[in-house]
Amino acid sequence: MANTKSAIKRMKQSEKRRLRNQSVKSRSRTYVKRARVAIAEKPAEAEADVRRAASELDIAARKGVIHPNNAARRKSRLMKAYNAAQNSTA
């Protein structure tokens, strides 16, 4: 447990940030999952879901919840799956 005033303050701050970041992280995960499901089930109609997921990842990166490279990597993988699904149906 924290021994100093500054350590106690830091613990309070980190807990507040964790709770604030939790919702942003959860939202981005949810939209990425929706996009993956849409790609698997109906690739022709998945574009809106993929765009929303990419937007949510950008928001999480902008807020510092995830690293920008992490967001870019996830978006890249999502787009790769989307494009592969588009090419297989066409």
Selection from 83, 76, 65, 79 nearest residue 27 by Cα: 65
Look at residues 90, 57, 63 and name the one whose alpha carbon lies nearest to residue 75: 57
Going by pLDDT thresholds of 50, 70 and 90, the confidence category of residue 25 is very high
Q: Is the CB of residue 51 less than 8 Å from the CB of residue 57?
A: no
How does residue 21 score in pLDDT terms, banded at 50, 70 and 90?
Answer: very high
The full set of domain ranges for the chain reads: 43-90
Q: Which residues, 6+ apart, have CB-to-CB distance to 62 below 8 Å? A: none
List the structure tokens of 34: 């929706």
pLDDT of residue 20: 94
In angstroms, the CA 48 to CA 53 distance is 9
pTM of the model: 0.86
37-76 pLDDT, tens digit each: 999 999 889 999 999 999 999 999 999 999 999 999 999 9
